[in-house]
Amino acid sequence: MDIDARTLPRITYTTTPANLEPVHAWFDSNVPRFRAGLGAAWPNRIGGADVSDGNEYVAASPLDAQMVLGRFVEASPDAIGRAVAAARGAFERWGRTPWQERVVTMRRLARALDAAKHELALAVMFEVGKTRLEALGETEETVALVEYYCDQIERRQGFVETPWEGNGERAQTLLRPLGVFAVIAPFNYPVALSVNMMSAALVAGNAVVFKPSPNSGLTAGMLGRIFDAADLPPGAFNLVCGAEAGRRLAAAPGIDGIAFTGSHAVGMELVRAFGAGPYMRPVLAEMGGKNPAYVSRSADVDMAVEGVARSAFAMQGQKCTACSVAFVHASLHDEFLEKLVHKAKVVRTGDTTAREVTNGPLIDARALARYERAVAHGGEAGRVVTGGRRLSGVPFDRGCYVEPAVIADLPRDDWLFQEEIFAPVLAVARFDRLEDAIERGNSVRYGLSSGFYGKDESEIALYLDRAQSGVQYVNRKTGATTGAWPGIQSFCGWKGSGLTGKGGLGPWYLPQFMREQSRTIRQL
């Protein structure tokens, strides 16, 4: 019997229903169908029309290098220019559309995303290697993001205020859209992070040119069809794919702002290039993290182990909020390490389209090289307590499948405590004074997320006051450093993790896609 996806329970990153059988039954039924349809051609989308101007390339699934996701187009320089021009033309209409009408259109987009979320989850599984529940959590979040930004602009009445009236004059302050935003998205959340940036830009009145990760053309193409269903003005949404499209887009005349999620190195490169123009234009960037967890002497060890393991190993550590360092009080260090090793060993790695699998592959050979470098160094400078191997045999030989690695006994200043690895590698260090541990956690260039475990209120206060991260979690079993949700936890990076000090998913993100204007009018 066919299962109606609309009847399935809602999945988030931190909550799942007690009975998952209907969800798994739906996936069991639909994974073969979706797999059989892979390999199609997905053109770019410019001004409401399909465009294949550029060189075609093929992207493979990280689950199986011989599984072709589709055929995509590396947008030519001319195509990039036409996409920006189409967005500029659409902005002339969309930017002047009353905010109430924009909200109606964007809520229509949210409904279209909701109707497609299970199909999108299938695409995310094949494109990224996420598990069923991780993929569904992402597409569910995508719907919530659009609704949240619509709620925000309604709550602020379009960001228009009249602070003063008198002597025949009226002063008005309002936020107005900037124009055309380049939206450059990463591979790891190809639907949620892309829609997060695009929906904020669009509801604020901007037009967008969307550049996904080169291997994320499948979800990007599907999003293009969904955006069409929302009946946006032609050119308000444009899609250009390819490895070089991001740099070409950032350098294109007519771009008024960039929204970027990705590595620190690329983000800073965009800032420098964009700042070389005649005036500064906004670059809104989220650029990774190191995300330490602190386990104090008063912690519930089992809770801490569960939370750290979920944040360190889930999705193969390929999250910008993944926990990659755990500072553990000396009195709990050995117990914590023993229990954490058990968690690492029971991870079930494999093809994530199967219901029993909890971990998939790394995204590509470059990610594998980072993992192998980190593990090799960990074995030389310290001790690899568990894991650290690339898996072999069927089905592992066709992808970059690895074991979660736990590394201990490293020197205090080791680079494994400093650099983002983006793989399931966790460095564990002991401490005697919480102040010292937090100082070590703060010493990195990043400041995205962190977590704390402990019952002592003074230690909790110390952590909240001194830990330099835009996102903080205390005693969270479902994830030491991960699991933000729109309207509940802002996703704000400090230091090298972000540029503006205001993050997505929260109440101060949307205004960054607009600029302030003060109007004083004297009535005659």
Instruction: Please give the span between the terminal C-alpha atoms of the chain, in angstroms, as a whole number.
Output: 72
- Residue 296's nearest CA partner among 82, 163, 83, 457 is 457
Q: What is the DSSP letter of 52?
A: -
- Residue 306's nearest CA partner among 134, 135, 476, 131 is 476
pLDDT at residue 514 tops 60: yes
Q: What is the DSSP letter of 5?
A: G
Total residue length of the chain: 524
Q: What is the pLDDT of residue 275?
A: 80
Q: pLDDT band at 1, cuts 50/70/90?
A: low
Q: What are phi and psi of 23, to 5 degrees?
A: -65, -50
Q: What is the pLDDT of residue 167?
A: 86
Place of tokens 């750290």: 308
| C-beta contacts of 267-271 below 8 A and 24+ residues apart | 267/499, 270/184, 271/499
pLDDT in tens, 238-263: 999 999 999 999 889 999 999 999 99
Tell me if 216 sits within 8 A of 182, measured CB to CB.
no
- Amino acid identity, position 380: E
Mean pLDDT computed over every residue of the chain: 95
Q: What is the pLDDT of residue 366?
A: 96
Contacts of 477 (CB under 8 A, 6+ apart): 303, 306, 307
Rounded distance between C-alpha atoms, residue 226 and residue 210, angstroms:
14
Rounded distance between C-alpha atoms, residue 240 and residue 234, angstroms:
15
- Residue 305: count of CB within 10 angstroms of its CB: 27
Q: What is the pLDDT of residue 5?
A: 82
Q: What is the pLDDT of residue 14?
A: 79
Least confident of 167-176, 297-306, 335-344, 366-375: 167-176
Domain positions in the chain: 25-287+502-521, 292-485
Place of tokens 């090799």: 376
Least confident of 69-73, 460-464, 482-486: 482-486
As a CATH number, domain 292-485 is 3.40.309.10
| Share above pLDDT 90 across residues of the chain, in percent, rounded to a whole number | 89
Q: pLDDT band at 43, cuts 50/70/90?
A: very high
Please, is 14 exposed, middle or buried when counting C-beta atoms within 10 Å of its C-beta (0-12, 13-18, 19+)? middle
In Å, how far are 300, 426, 431 from 462, measured between CA atoms?
18, 24, 15
- Region of 162 (left: φ > 0; alpha: ψ -120 to 50; beta: rest) is beta
* Cα dihedral 318/323/325/327 (nearest 10): -170
CATH fourth-level superfamily of 25-287+502-521: Aldehyde Dehydrogenase; Chain A, domain 1 (3.40.605.10)
In Å, how far are 161, 304, 338 from 476, measured between CA atoms?
39, 8, 20
Task: Please tell me if the domain spanning 25-287+502-521 has the same topology as the one spanning 292-485.
Answer: no
Tell me if 428 sits within 8 A of 407, measured CB to CB.
yes
User: Bigger pLDDT: 447 or 269?
Assistant: 447
Q: What is the per-residue burial (b if ≥16 Cβ within 10 Å, else e) of 333-361?
A: beebbebbbebbeebebbbbbebebbbbb
